[in-house]
């Protein structure tokens, strides 16, 4: 069966530094993959590299999306092909209302902005400037709303549980569940792992020291909770 | 017949300023231009771009300096030319004509005062609330000077929306000097929308002053949405007790335009408040200066001023000059100013949401030029929306 995503031996440079090293990662249909790792280990850099963010330069390795080598393709192409990213901290877009953004996405992806807003419980933010005076949880839910509108084949969700309170994590988890209905697979980055209480993984990978070091089943979560990231370092390569 | 000495005083004062340059903006040699006396050729399509449509219940249309058409079917709304106002109601006119603006202030006011031709007088009677916008169009069909003098009086408790579009036939080398004196009486509200669309060889020098009475509200929206050779204006607003003012502007500089746009609000009355938001975009080799001033006089006055500049080319130039001043300890005045290009981080963010780079820039520019629609009456929102779309289209 064709893999949705294959990252082969990827090394990435940004700003003159290696930020992802010798990394392999695969995703198949129907996966809920957790990418765990301590702060600053390169998780966000990895998914930004996969989606093709400018400034993330592939030094070595390949990125295949549904069998197609997209390593040299721009972000526009990769997003059109089915990648989507919920950012950890999106920029504030002055003057651009949340509703305007959702309408613009929905006009091409055939969706109803009000339904999307309702599914992520952000109706009260629709008339606000994007990112203006949002709480941490509201920012995360607006990000999920954009993905729900985009309906990407693979959704990357970057730290949905950082900087939010317990009640917010529940709401965010509701949004992720809705996203699982429209995306073939999702990859969730977390370093606190709070979200794992609500959304169970099908697979878990650890990223330590710039490389994806170790992947396993859901039971790997328990090992991480028991030993911590430091205790898990140096495991088997994927 | 009442003495006309006061009119002679105005002309005498104007003659003193006839060769005086304005403190801001490029100096224009007006002796190179004759008065624009055309054949009254009106272009409805261009007028529509600046929000003017014929067939409304209250309108004023002026082409060049010598063709006027106006009508009002709105109860409590009076419209005529300013010349008719002065000739037919001199005792009344004396209280409003050149009372807020000094005719000798600079060569532009002086020229308008000496030409003394064109411009509208609109009076909204006491407690008359008009939802339908009163439309005005000042059209230049030929080269030369057009210098209308507009007076709007909204009497106590009245409410009105005046939308004025000013435009020019393509390639006409015109000079537009619009004199506007606005009187917003106690508890009255005036929403004044002005949309400009000029040619790359036209010079524009509006001179505007408004006085707002107790608990009155003056809301102003100005947009310049196409090429202009030079533009300089500095509208001034004086507020009475608990009066409010909101001045919002979007100015687009294209080509070799030299634009100096600003405005001042004098918070004279106790607890008066104001907001000035000035947004400017500069493309090509345009040079754009944005100014703003809030001056506190009365106790417990509040004001906020924003000057934001978006540079869209390496050859453009921008300068933002926000000023705050106060004569009282009790004023609370703030400002924000910024100049810069669109942030790559924001463009990339939108590309990650499925937009092309050009679409992302277009969305961000639209966000930049947008004003808070909730501030404006419903009938005005569609005009502002179409103006914003035009500006985005021309800025790209």
Question: Among the three residues B318, B343, B368, which one is the final residue of a domain in this structure?
Answer: B343
Let me know whether B97 and B124 are in one domain. Answer: yes
Of A90, A91, A150, the CB nearest to B343: A91
Let me know whether B232 and B348 are in one domain. Answer: no
Chain A residues lying within 8 Å of B336, measured CB to CB: none
pLDDT at residue B3, rounded to an integer? 65
CA separation for the pair B111, B114 (Å, rounded): 5
Mean pLDDT of chain B: 92
Chain A residues lying within 8 Å of B348, measured CB to CB: 53-54, 75
Chain B residues lying within 8 Å of A107, measured CB to CB: none
Residue A234 has pLDDT above 80, yes or no: no
Residue B78 has pLDDT above 50, yes or no: yes
Let me know whether B288 and B385 are in one domain. Answer: no
Let me know whether B353 and B295 are in one domain. Answer: no
Do B345 and A91 count as a contact with CB atoms less than 8 A apart?
A: yes
Of A87, A96, A146, the CB nearest to B367: A96
Q: Which pLDDT band holds residue B107 (cuts at 50, 70, 90)?
A: very high
By the CB < 8 Å criterion, does B313 face chain A? no
Of A85, A94, A146, the CB nearest to B367: A94
Do B367 and A93 count as a contact with CB atoms less than 8 A apart?
A: yes
Chain B residues lying within 8 Å of A130, measured CB to CB: 367
pLDDT at residue A237, rounded to an integer? 46
Of B224, B298, B264, B340, the C-alpha closest to A94 is B340
Chain B residues lying within 8 Å of A87, measured CB to CB: 349, 352
Structure-model confidence comparison of residues B46 and A11, the more confident one = A11
pLDDT at residue B34, rounded to an integer? 83
| Contact status, residue B77 vs residue B128, Cβ threshold 8 Å | yes
* Residues A4-23 as b or e (16 or more Cβ within 10 Å = b): bbbbeebbbbbeeeebbbeb
By the CB < 8 Å criterion, does B160 face chain A? no
Distance in Å, alpha carbon of A80 to nearest chain B alpha carbon: 6
Residue A120 has pLDDT above 60, yes or no: yes
The token pair at A10 is: 């990827």
pLDDT at residue A236, rounded to an integer? 47
pLDDT at residue B232, rounded to an integer? 96
Q: Which domain holds residue B381?
A: 344-396
Q: Which pLDDT band holds residue B42 (cuts at 50, 70, 90)?
A: confident
Q: Which chain B residue's Cα is nearest to A81? A: B354
Distance in Å, alpha carbon of B317 to nearest chain A alpha carbon: 22
Q: What residues of chain A have any CB closer than 8 angstroms to a CB in chain B?
A: 51, 53-54, 75-76, 79-80, 84-85, 87, 90-91, 93-96, 100-101, 104-105, 108-109, 129-130, 146, 150
pLDDT at residue B1, rounded to an integer? 44
Instruction: Summarize the confidence of residues B66-94 as an average pLDDT.
Output: 93
* CB–CB contacts below 8 A, A to B: 62
Instruction: Give chain B's domain count.
Output: 2
Let me know whether B350 and B379 are in one domain. Answer: yes
The pTM is what?
0.88
Do B349 and A91 count as a contact with CB atoms less than 8 A apart?
A: yes
pLDDT at residue B180, rounded to an integer? 96
Q: Which chain B residue's Cα is nearest to A103? A: B363
Residue A235 has pLDDT above 80, yes or no: no
Do B346 and A75 count as a contact with CB atoms less than 8 A apart?
A: no
Let me know whether B329 and B384 are in one domain. Answer: no
Let me know whether B333 and B385 are in one domain. Answer: no
Q: Which pLDDT band holds residue A1 (cuts at 50, 70, 90)?
A: low
pLDDT of B346-377, one tens digit each?
999 999 999 999 999 999 999 999 988 888 98
Do A87 and B355 count as a contact with CB atoms less than 8 A apart?
A: no
Chain A residues lying within 8 Å of B356, measured CB to CB: 76
Tell me what percent of the residues of chain B surpass a pLDDT of 90: 72
The token pair at B90 is: 């001199």
Handedness of CA A164, A166, A171, A177 (dihedral sign): positive
CA separation for the pair B175, B198 (Å, rounded): 10
Q: Which chain B residue's Cα is nearest to A98? A: B367
Q: Which chain A residue's Cα is nearest to B374? A: A127
Residue B341 has pLDDT above 90, yes or no: yes
What residues have CB less than 8 Å from A137, skipping those under 6 apart? A164, A165, A167, A168, A169, A171, A172
Let me know whether B131 and B158 are in one domain. Answer: yes
Let me know whether B367 and B318 are in one domain. Answer: no
Chain A residues lying within 8 Å of B309, measured CB to CB: none
pLDDT of B246-294, one tens digit each?
999 999 999 999 999 999 999 999 999 999 999 999 999 999 999 999 9
Residue A19 has pLDDT above 90, yes or no: yes
Do B352 and A108 count as a contact with CB atoms less than 8 A apart?
A: no
pLDDT at residue A215, rounded to an integer? 93
Let me know whether B362 and B300 are in one domain. Answer: no
Of B349, B354, B368, the CB nearest to A80: B354
pLDDT of A149-184, one tens digit each?
999 999 999 999 988 888 889 999 999 999 999 999
Residue B215 has pLDDT above 80, yes or no: yes
Q: Which pLDDT band holds residue B156 (cuts at 50, 70, 90)?
A: very high
Do A79 and B352 count as a contact with CB atoms less than 8 A apart?
A: yes
Residue A29 has pLDDT above 90, yes or no: yes
A6 beta partners: A26, A64
Mean pLDDT of chain A: 92
pLDDT at residue B82, rounded to an integer? 94
Of B109, B98, B116, B107, the C-alpha closest to B35 is B116
Instruction: Summarize the confidence of residues B73-89 as an average pLDDT.
Output: 95
pLDDT at residue A238, rounded to an integer? 46
Let me know whether B323 and B349 are in one domain. Answer: no
Let me know whether B148 and B291 are in one domain. Answer: yes
A138 beta partners: none
| Phi, psi torsion values for A12, nearest 5 degrees | -130, 140
Distance in Å, alpha carbon of A20 to nearest chain B alpha carbon: 20
Q: Which pLDDT band holds residue B204 (cuts at 50, 70, 90)?
A: very high
């Amino acid at each position: 069966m064709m893999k949705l995503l294959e990252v082969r031996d990827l090394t990435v440079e940004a700003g003159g530094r290696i930020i992802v090293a010798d990394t392999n990662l695969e995703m198949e249909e129907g996966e809920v993959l957790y990418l765990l790792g301590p702060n600053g280990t390169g998780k966000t850099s990895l998914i930004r590299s996969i989606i093709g963010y400018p400034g993330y330069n592939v030094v070595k390795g390949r990125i295949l999306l549904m069998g197609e080598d997209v390593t040299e393709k721009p972000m526009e192409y990769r997003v059109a092909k089915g990648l989507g990213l919920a950012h950890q901290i999106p920029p504030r877009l002055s003057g651009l209302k949340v509703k305007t953004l959702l309408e613009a996405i929905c006009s091409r992806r055939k969706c109803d902005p009000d339904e999307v807003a309702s599914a992520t419980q952000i109706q009260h933010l629709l008339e606000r400037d994007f990112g203006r005076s949002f709480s941490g949880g509201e920012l995360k839910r607006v990000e999920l709303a954009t993905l729900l509108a985009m309906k990407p084949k693979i959704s990357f969700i970057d730290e949905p549980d950082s900087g939010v309170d317990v009640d917010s994590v529940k709401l965010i988890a509701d949004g992720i569940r809705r996203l699982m209905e429209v995306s073939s697979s999702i990859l969730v980055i977390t370093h606190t792992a709070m979200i794992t209480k609500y959304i169970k993984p099908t697979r878990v990978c650890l990223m330590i020291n710039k490389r994806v070091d170790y992947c396993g089943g859901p039971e790997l979560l328990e090992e991480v909770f028991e030993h911590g990231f430091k205790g898990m370092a140096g495991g088997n390569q994927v | 017949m009442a003495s006309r000495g006061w009119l002679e005083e105005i002309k005498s004062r104007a003659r003193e300023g006839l060769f005086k340059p304005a403190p801001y903006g490029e100096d224009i040699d007006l002796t190179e231009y004759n008065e624009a006396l055309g054949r009254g050729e009106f272009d409805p399509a261009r007028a529509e771009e600046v929000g003017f449509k014929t067939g409304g219940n209250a309108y004023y249309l002026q082409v060049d300096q010598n063709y006027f058409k106006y009508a009002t079917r709105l109860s409590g709304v009076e419209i005529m030319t300013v010349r008719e106002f002065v000739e037919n109601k001199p005792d009344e006119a004396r209280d409003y004509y050149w009372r807020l603006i000094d005719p000798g202030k600079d060569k532009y006011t002086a020229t308008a005062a000496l030409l003394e031709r064109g411009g509208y007088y609109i009076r909204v009677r006491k407690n008359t609330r008009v939802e339908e916008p009163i439309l005005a169009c000042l059209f230049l069909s030929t080269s030369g000077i057009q210098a209308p003098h507009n007076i709007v009086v909204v009497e106590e408790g009245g409410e009105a929306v005046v939308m004025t579009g000013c435009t020019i036939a393509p390639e006409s080398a015109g000079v537009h000097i619009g004199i506007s004196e606005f009187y917003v009486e106690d508890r009255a509200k005036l929403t004044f929308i002005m949309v400009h669309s000029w040619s790359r060889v036209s010079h524009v020098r509006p001179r505007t002053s408004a006085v707002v009475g107790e608990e009155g509200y003056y809301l102003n929206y100005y947009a310049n949405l196409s090429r202009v050779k030079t533009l300089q204006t500095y509208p001034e607003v004086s507020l009475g007790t608990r009066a409010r003012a909101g001045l919002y502007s979007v100015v687009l500089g294209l080509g070799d335009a030299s634009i100096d746009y600003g405005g001042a609000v004098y918070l004279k009355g106790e607890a008066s408040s104001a907001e000035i938001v000035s947004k400017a975009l500069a493309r090509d080799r345009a040079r754009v200066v944005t100014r703003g001033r809030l001056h506190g006089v009365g106790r417990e006055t509040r004001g906020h001023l924003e000057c934001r500049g978006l540079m869209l080319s390496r050859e453009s130039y921008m300068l933002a000059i926000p000023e705050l001043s106060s004569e009282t300890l009790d004023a609370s005045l703030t400002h924000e100013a910024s100049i810069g290009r669109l942030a790559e981080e924001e463009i990339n963010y939108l590309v990650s949401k499925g937009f092309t780079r050009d679409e992302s820039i277009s969305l961000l520019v639209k966000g930049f030029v947008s004003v808070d629609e909730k501030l404006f009456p419903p009938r005005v929102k569609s005009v502002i929306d179409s103006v914003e779309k035009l500006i985005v289209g021309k800025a790209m």
